Amino acid sequence: MLRKVLGTVLLLGALAGCTAPLRVCETDADCPNGGTCDPERKLCFSASAEGGSCEPACAPYQACTLANVCAPRYTGLVVTPGDGGVVGAGPVPVTAELLVGTGFAGNFPETLSFSVVASDGGTGGTLTAVTRSEGVYSTQWTPAGEGEFRLTAAYPATGGPSTTVRLTADTTGPTFVVFVPPADAGVAAGGTTYGDPSLANAWRRDQAVPVEIRTNEPHLDPSTVTIALQGTDGGTTPAVAVTASSGACDAGFCGVAQLSLWEPPFDAFRGTMTAAVQGKDTVGNAGSGSATINVTRWKWVFDGTAGAIRSGPAIGSGGSIYLGTNANTSGKVFALTPEGALRWESSVGAVVGGPVVGASDGGTELVYVGANGANDGTLYALQSEDGGTRQTCTTPNGSFEGALALGKTTTAQVETAVSVYNSNTGAIIVGIRPGASVPCPLVESPSTGEQIPVLTAGTPVVMQNDSIFFAGVASGSPKITSYAFGVSVPRSNWPVNPPAVTRSLALVGSDVIGGAAATDFVAGGLFKIPQAGAADVTRLYPAGTSWSSRVFSLAVGSALETPDNVFFGSEPTGSINFNRLNLTSAALQTAASSPAIRATPVLGVNGNVYTATSNGTVRAWIADTLTPRWTLTPGLGTVEASPTLDCPRDASGALVAGNHGVLYVPAGGKLYAFVVDSRGLDTSAPWPKYQHDSRNTGNPATPITSCP
């Protein structure tokens, strides 16, 4: 190393004619007598290397050394941007710095000479006046266009230092190509089909799309490339970064981003979203690109080809969907995964009550249904794992017509499913409680002089603690009654006479809320009765003195500004409506809805209400204004049972992220699954759906399933 440094010393001395260096060095401390160390040359020099008498006189860009020799005053002329740099459209700041040799005075000129030409010899653009700060000279260059240029900065006198750099002017932003892969719709199997029949190549609202981004921009700044998803009404998700692809790339840059389709607003059942990409090159030119994505709420449809669905589906703790079918005296119970795959099926007869899902015990739960054969009716308790029969309770010579309610009695403290059976001699209240010493309890049968109301098709049965509430017809008149377990007569102040056959019941606070409708003429309405009983019902709707509107269904929510709002369809003379009635203020809000809403509305989180009309037209409404968000038409078919709502889940039933959920709508003998913008039921609602909760227990003691 020392030999190499000494060689350098001799060479520099010979070329520059300078005073001999004091010694080699690493720092100033290695130099005696106040000398300084030149860090590049590794040589010591005296504090001043010039001061000689040179004849003839040296040029201004030279220095007269103590050895009376003219030496270069400057060691370099550094231009910024440097050689090979890329600049924008301008004005582009350009600087040139004269680097003074060690021991020499700057003696800087007033200005430097700047010039620029295109690489093909054409015009290079314009330069502003030059300013100086010590040995740094500045100007601004506006390129004549895109392309390669040669920019020169030179000492103003001939022979002085000069530097030329090659610069590329880029004035155009990147152009991005966005590629949306084909939709992953799923493969039909086991009675379940996927893919929206009315929108080809549509991604589902609950899916994440791996969008690909490409560009041939040679000067791209990859860190600036982001993409956002635009929904309806101008709503846009926050932009996410695009990650460079690790595989083969057929462009200058290839990247990918996952876009969650449930994030942007989408007030439509089916339509398009826009994936919009933004990015810049290294000089700040911005560019963009976009592509549209077909999006649908259609998830799947299941057809068990086993008859109509006449009772609302139920949801198990792991997201399994249970539904029963009815074809005269035959039918089945089906269990489906959240992705619509068939788990099992069980032939039980024509299902008219349930399914109702029992409480989960370590992942095991029972599925209760009431089904009718040719001459008898049976309550079933099925195993949720495989559909096998855990218990049956058969009653001869009659049929079930109403729902099942589920709870624990004060005395037995055993899970018991209860329904009402129409026997040849009158209605009886029966139950099923697997594993108990009396697995098929006869809750109540008619006593002397008493007639338990005979249920009509689809009549609700609800319960709270030891009290059972149901409606039917006795002695030719509509009745609502209540019985307690182990008591042979109705509870005090029951039965009560509603204005027409009662079609729906909800237990809210200390009241029973009911909807009544006659089918052969316009009569009925919305009413309430204290659970303790009363001499008569209290009319809630319609106003006035006449029961002049059919009301088939109701749900009660409290997530609005005032509590306990009843949502229901009504059919007064000359119109068909959807309504919200506040139980505290009696304020009524009405929106037209045709055909009629006879299935129970479903109240979801995020202020959404979902309805299905009698012909299967499905709508999402804004709860506090009754404004439709979206509508699915034409109708799916005849609706004979109410929809339900569940959390977002994967195929195994595990909860997944997102502010969406799944609405299950039975129509025309099929079960449809749609992606909606509610992550499950409104847990603050006293009675958000048919039979209260996702398990269909008809019991306000059952928690409304939340979706954390």
Based on the fold, state whether residues 481 and 548 are members of the same structural domain: yes
Residue 232, φ and ψ in degrees, nearest 5 = -85, 160
Name 16's Cβ contacts closer than 8 Å, sequence gap at least 6. Answer: 65, 69, 71, 72
Residue % of the chain over a pLDDT of 70: 93
Does residue 232 sit within a domain? yes
CA dihedral sign, ordered 546, 550, 556, 558: negative
Compute the average pLDDT of residues 494-512: 94
Does residue 380 sit within a domain? yes
437 — pLDDT class (breaks 50, 70, 90): confident
With 90 as the cut, is the pLDDT of residue 666 above it? yes
Tell me the three state secondary structure of residue 354. Answer: strand
235 — pLDDT class (breaks 50, 70, 90): confident
CA dihedral 60, 65, 67, 69 (to 10 degrees): -30
Based on the fold, state whether residues 291 and 307 are members of the same structural domain: no
What the block records as the tokens of 332 is 């089945």
Q: Quick one: pLDDT at residue 249?
A: 92
Q: What is the pLDDT of residues 85-102, one digit of tens each?
A: 999 988 999 999 999 998
Based on the fold, state whether residues 454 and 517 are members of the same structural domain: yes
Residue 208, φ and ψ in degrees, nearest 5 = -110, 130
CA-wise closest residue to 272 among 318, 323, 231, 329: 231
630 — pLDDT class (breaks 50, 70, 90): very high
With 70 as the cut, is the pLDDT of residue 431 above it? yes
Based on the fold, state whether residues 252 and 181 are members of the same structural domain: yes
Q: Quick one: pLDDT at residue 410?
A: 78
Residue 435 domain boundaries = 299-676
Tell me the three state secondary structure of residue 3. Answer: helix
With 80 as the cut, is the pLDDT of residue 522 above it? yes
Q: Report d(CA 288, CA 69) in Å as an integer.
A: 62
Mean pLDDT of the chain: 90
With 80 as the cut, is the pLDDT of residue 444 above it? no
Compute the average pLDDT of residues 541-553: 95
- Specify the range with the lowest mean pLDDT, choosing from 19-28, 316-325, 529-538, 595-604: 19-28
What the block records as the tokens of 439 is 């697995």
19 — pLDDT class (breaks 50, 70, 90): very low
Question: Which tops the pLDDT comparison, 296 or 668?
Answer: 296
Q: Quick one: pLDDT at residue 23?
A: 64
Question: Strand 113-118 and strand 70-72: pairing?
Answer: unpaired
Look at residues 138, 169, 200 and tell me which one is the last residue of a structural domain: 169
3-state helix, strand, coil in the chain (%, to 5): 5, 45, 50
Q: What is the pLDDT of residues 316-346, one digit of tens each?
A: 999 999 999 998 889 999 999 999 999 999 9
Residue 145 CB neighbour total at 10 angstroms: 13
Look at residues 121, 143, 169 and tell me which one is the last residue of a structural domain: 169
CA-wise closest residue to 507 among 687, 688, 682, 693: 687
Q: Which of 31-35, 182-186, 344-348 reaches the highest mean pLDDT?
A: 344-348
Based on the fold, state whether residues 225 and 329 are members of the same structural domain: no
Compute the average pLDDT of residues 645-669: 96
Based on the fold, state whether residues 633 and 496 are members of the same structural domain: yes
Residue % of the chain over a pLDDT of 90: 76
Does residue 12 sit within a domain? yes
With 80 as the cut, is the pLDDT of residue 660 above it? yes
What the block records as the tokens of 376 is 């008898």
Does residue 30 sit within a domain? yes
Does residue 26 sit within a domain? yes
- Specify the range with the lowest mean pLDDT, choosing from 162-166, 384-388, 472-476, 591-595: 472-476
Question: Which tops the pLDDT comparison, 658 or 451?
Answer: 658
Does residue 201 sit within a domain? yes
Distances (CA, A) of 645 to 188, 673, 690: 23, 9, 11
What is the domain count for the chain?
A: 4
Does residue 81 sit within a domain? yes
Query: Model's pTM, two decimal places?
Result: 0.86
Q: Quick one: pLDDT at residue 28?
A: 78
With 50 as the cut, is the pLDDT of residue 458 above it? yes
**CATH value at residue 594:** 2.130.10.10
Q: Report d(CA 310, CA 609) in Å as an integer.
A: 22
Answer yes or no: are the C-beta atoms of 439 and 380 closer than 8 Å.
Answer: no
With 90 as the cut, is the pLDDT of residue 450 above it? no
- φ/ψ region of 183 (left if φ > 0, alpha if ψ in -120 to 50, else beta) reads beta
Compute the average pLDDT of residues 651-670: 95
Q: Quick one: pLDDT at residue 428?
A: 85
Residue 2, φ and ψ in degrees, nearest 5 = -60, -40
Residue 51, φ and ψ in degrees, nearest 5 = 140, 10
Write the burial class of residue 425 (CB in 10 Å: 0-12 exposed, 13-18 middle, 19+ buried). Answer: exposed
43 — pLDDT class (breaks 50, 70, 90): confident
Amino acid at 587: A
With 50 as the cut, is the pLDDT of residue 597 above it? yes
Q: Quick one: pLDDT at residue 642?
A: 96
Residue with tokens 């003379």: 573
Look at residues 267, 296, 325 and tell me which one is the last residue of a structural domain: 296
Q: Quick one: pLDDT at residue 2?
A: 33
Answer yes or no: are the C-beta atoms of 74 and 60 closer than 8 Å.
Answer: no
Based on the fold, state whether residues 344 and 292 are members of the same structural domain: no
Q: Report d(CA 221, CA 170) in Å as an integer.
A: 13
Answer yes or no: are the C-beta atoms of 510 and 563 closer than 8 Å.
Answer: no
Q: Quick one: pLDDT at residue 7?
A: 36
Could you say which DSSP state residue 496 is in?
B
Based on the fold, state whether residues 30 and 119 are members of the same structural domain: no
Based on the fold, state whether residues 535 and 410 are members of the same structural domain: yes
CA-wise closest residue to 409 among 384, 436, 381: 436
Q: Report d(CA 643, CA 673) in Å as an integer.
A: 10
Compute the average pLDDT of residues 619-632: 96
DSSP string, 396-429: ESEEE-S--EEEE-TTT-SEEEEEEEEETTEEEE
Write the burial class of residue 410 (CB in 10 Å: 0-12 exposed, 13-18 middle, 19+ buried). Answer: exposed
Based on the fold, state whether residues 261 and 353 are members of the same structural domain: no
Q: Quick one: pLDDT at residue 4?
A: 34
With 50 as the cut, is the pLDDT of residue 349 above it? yes
**CATH value at residue 199:** 2.60.40.10
Compute the average pLDDT of residues 225-229: 97
Based on the fold, state whether residues 362 and 387 are members of the same structural domain: yes
Q: Quick one: pLDDT at residue 13?
A: 39
Amino acid at 358: G
With 60 as the cut, is the pLDDT of residue 8 above it? no
Q: Quick one: pLDDT at residue 424?
A: 75
Q: Report d(CA 641, CA 33) in Å as an integer.
A: 104
Q: How many helices (H) and strands (E) does the chain have?
A: 1, 56
Answer yes or no: are the C-beta atoms of 541 and 581 closer than 8 Å.
Answer: yes
Distance linking the first and last C-alpha atoms of the chain:
70
The residue length of the chain stands at 708
Q: Quick one: pLDDT at residue 89?
A: 87
Q: What is the pLDDT of residues 474-494, one digit of tens each?
A: 888 899 999 988 777 889 999
Angle CA(307)–CA(309)–CA(314) in degrees, nearest 5?
A: 135
Based on the fold, state whether residues 530 and 410 are members of the same structural domain: yes
Beta bridge partners of 398: 423
457 — pLDDT class (breaks 50, 70, 90): low
